Amino acid sequence: MRNPQLNAQGELQHLLTIEGLPAAIIRQILDTAEPFVSIAEREVKKVPLLRGKSIFNLFFENSTRTRTTFEIAAKRLSADVINLNVGASSTAKGETLLDTVNNLSAMLADMFVVRHAQSGAAHLIAQHVAPHIHVINAGDGRHAHPTQGLLDMFTIRHYKGDFTRLVVAIVGDVLHSRVARSQIHALTTLGVPELRVIAPKTLLPTAVERLGVRVFHDLAQGLRGADVVIMLRLQSERMRGALLPSAQEYFKHYGLTPERLEVANPDVIVMHPGPMNRGVEIDSAVADGSHSVILPQVTFGIAVRMAVMAILAGN
Ligand code: CP
C-alpha cells in the first residue's frame, strides 16, 4: 500500500507522521534545515522560497512553541501566513472540520498546518484537499507530532553527530505522548542501537517493546550510560482517572535532578519538548543547567519547519 504522505514519485506530499517515513526523507529534511539555521544570523532573515504561497495555521489545541515557530518559519520563507483564530471561527458555531478546510481552500490555500485533539485529524484533511495543497500535522491527539520529532533529531545530530552509537532514554508519560511516538519512530529509523523508555507501568502503552525500545521502571538503571535524555511532561489533560498517587510522588521516583543525572554519560544532553513542569518531571537545576539543550531545541524548530515547508512546496 502506498504511504499516504508520499506522492507517486516517493516524494513528501504531506507530513502526517514519522511512522513509515523512509530514513532518506528524514535525512533530507535534516540536511535541508542546516543552511536555514544561519538565516537567523542575517540582518534580513528572509529567503524568497515560498513567496506568493498562502499558509494557514489551524490550531484547534493550545500551543506556544509549535504555532509560533511555524509562523516564523513561514515568514522567513516569505510566505503569507494566516492564523485561524479557532475560538472566534465558525467552528464554534458547529461547522465541521472539513467544511472549514473547504472554505479556506476556496481562499486559495497552499498549505495547512494543523493541530487537533483528535488523532487522525490531519490525515483526514490530507485525504480531502486538492492535490496541490500540502498538509502538515502539528500534533494530533496522542498519535503523532512529526515536526517535533524531526527537530529533536536535528538537535541530537547537532550535538552528537552519529545516531548509530547512541544510548537514548525517554523518561515519563509515554502513554499519552504523541511526541514520544514520533521520537521513537525517528530514532529507530535512524539506527539508534539502544533506545530506552523509563516510566511507571501505568504510563507506558501495552506492548511498547514492539516499537523497538527497552523498558525500565527504575530511573537510575535506565539513565546509566545514556548519551541523550528526553524528559516528557505528565499529560494530565489526556489522563482518564488517576494513574499516579501525586505529582510529588512522581517527582520522588522519576523527576530528573542533577544527582540522578550523574549516572548518565558525562557529556549527556537533556531535552524536553515543552511545555515543562518544573518540580514534576524535571528539577530547575537540570532544566537550566549545563547539560540542557531545551531552548536550542526551540530555535532549531524554526529551521526544521522551514525545511519541511520548503520541501513540500517543491514537490
Ligand atoms: N512541544 C510542543 O508541541 O509545544 P507547544 O504545545 O507549545 O506547541
Residue 306 lies in a domain: yes
Closest residue CA from atom 5 of ligand 1: 63
Asked if residue 51 and residue 127 are part of one domain, the reply reads: yes
- Domain assignment present for residue 103? The answer is yes
pTM over 0.85: yes
The rounded Å distance from CA 274 to ligand 1 centre is 6
Say if ligand 1 is within 6 A of residue 273 CB. Answer: yes
pLDDT, mean of residues 41-65: 95
Determine what percent of the chain is predicted with pLDDT higher than 70: 97
What integer is the mean pLDDT of 155-172? Answer: 98
Q: Which one has a higher pLDDT value, 301 or 315?
A: 301
3-state SS string for 85-127: CHHHCHHHHCCCHHHHHHHHHCCCCCEEEEEECCCCHHHHHHH
Calculate how far, in angstroms, residue 164's C-alpha sits from the geometric centre of ligand 1: 28
Indicate whether residue 146 lines ligand 1 (CB < 6 A): no
**265 and 160 part of one domain:** yes
Domain assignment present for residue 11? The answer is: no
Tell me the pLDDT tens digit for each residue of 232-280.
999 877 666 666 778 889 999 999 999 999 999 999 999 999 999 999 9
Please report, for the domain that includes residue 126, its CATH number.
3.40.50.1370
Do both 268 and 132 map to the same domain?
Answer: no
Q: Is residue 17 lining ligand 1, measured as CB closer than 6 Å?
A: no
Ligand 1 close to Cβ of residue 172 (< 6 A): no
**Own/partner pairs, 258-264, CB within 8 angstroms, 24+ separation:** 258/283, 258/285, 258/286, 258/289, 260/219, 260/220, 260/223, 261/223, 261/229, 261/286, 261/291, 263/220, 263/223, 263/224, 263/225, 264/169, 264/223, 264/224, 264/225, 264/226, 264/227, 264/229
Q: Is residue 256 part of a domain?
A: yes
- The per-residue pLDDT for 86 is 85
Is the shortest distance between the CB of 275 and ligand 1 below 6 Å? Answer: yes
Task: Please indicate whether residue 274, judged by its CB atom, sits closer than 6 Å to ligand 1.
Answer: yes
70 lies in which domain range? Answer: 23-145+298-314
**Across the chain, what does the average pLDDT equal?**
95
193 and 309 share a domain? Answer: no
Number of domains comprising the chain = 2
pLDDT the model gives residue 152: 98
Q: Is 149 in the pocket of ligand 1 (CB under 6 A)?
A: no
Q: Looking at beta carbons, which pairs linking 45-49 to residues 24 or more positions away fall under 8 Å?
A: 45/76, 46/75, 46/76, 46/77, 46/78, 47/76, 47/77, 47/78, 48/77, 48/78, 49/77, 49/78, 49/310, 49/313
Within a domain: 267:
yes
Instruction: Please state the rounded mean pLDDT for residues 1-24.
Output: 93
* Same domain flag for 303 and 249: no
- Say if residue 90's pLDDT is above 90: no
Q: What is the per-residue pLDDT for 87?
A: 77
Please report whether residue 14 resides in a domain: no
Q: What is the mean pLDDT of residues 279-308?
A: 98
pLDDT of 303 above 70: yes
The pLDDT of residue 189 is above 80: yes
| Residues 89, 126 within the same domain | yes
Same-domain check for residues 95 and 153 = no
Answer yes or no: is 289 within a domain: yes
- CB of 65 within 6 A of ligand 1: the answer is yes
Q: Is residue 130 part of a domain?
A: yes
Looking from the CA of residue 273, the nearest atom of ligand 1 is 1
Q: Does 106 share its domain with 133?
A: yes
